[in-house]
């Protein structure tokens, strides 16, 4: 069932760790200005990065690398979706703190992007 599980990837270990049970899609959808297709997508990929100013975050001029990298990752997700005959959409209209709360992200994580992936409408 969509939205029942949330997994976080930890780049340090290259692993997926299940961190949350239950349907978080209503809260995620509300955090994203009520964009209903987030609730309908079988998969929503949320890209998060180190929150600016946090101890582990990239600092100074390189802070912009974070958004660039998120864009690169998102582009790859979109390309892979097309290659698999799926559809995806870049979603940036959301309240950062509401998404953070809905997904119970670690304090230092800053949500940058939501990418719903699913079967394209006929």
Ligand X SMILES: Cc1cc2nc3c(=O)[nH]c(=O)nc-3n(C[C@H](O)[C@H](O)[C@H](O)COP(=O)(O)O)c2cc1C
Check binding of 89 to ligand X (CB under 6 A).
yes
Structure tokens at 117: 């992936």
How many other CB atoms sit within 10 Å of the CB of residue 75? 11
Structure tokens at 118: 């699913």
Among 26, 34, 42, 90, binds ligand X (CB under 6 A): 90
CA nearest neighbour of 69 among 7, 8, 5, 11: 11
Beta-bridge partner residues of 115: 45
Looking at residue 21, the DSSP 8-state letter turns out to be: E
Among 52, 93, 96, 120, binds ligand X (CB under 6 A): 93
Q: Binding pattern to ligand X, positions 44-63, x when CB under 6 A? A: --------------------
Among 6, 91, 102, 112, binds ligand X (CB under 6 A): 91
H or E element in which residue 79 lies: helix 63-83
Tokens 């930890």 belong to 10
Residue 121 Cβ vs ligand X, minimum distance, rounded to whole Å? 12
Residue 35 Cβ vs ligand X, minimum distance, rounded to whole Å? 6
The nearer residue to ligand X, 35 or 98, going by C-beta atoms, is 35
Q: Binding pattern to ligand X, positions 63-82, x when CB under 6 A? A: --------------------
H helical segments located in 13-94: 25-31, 37-40, 63-83
Q: Which residues bind ligand X (CB under 6 A)?
A: 35, 89-93
């Amino acid at each position: 069932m969509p939205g029942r599980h949330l997994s976080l990837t930890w780049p340090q270990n290259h692993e997926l760790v299940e961190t949350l049970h239950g349907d978080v899609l209503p809260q995620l959808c509300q955090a994203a200005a009520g964009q209903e297709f987030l609730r309908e997508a079988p998969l929503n990929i949320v890209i998060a990065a180190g929150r600016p100013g946090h101890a582990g975050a990239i600092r100074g001029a390189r802070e912009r690398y974070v958004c660039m990298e998120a864009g690169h990752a998102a582009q790859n997700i979109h390309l892979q979706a097309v290659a698999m005959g799926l559809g995806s959409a870049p979603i940036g209209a959301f309240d950062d703190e509401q998404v953070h709360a809905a997904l119970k992200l670690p304090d230092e994580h800053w949500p940058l992007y939501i990418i719903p992936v699913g079967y394209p409408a006929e």
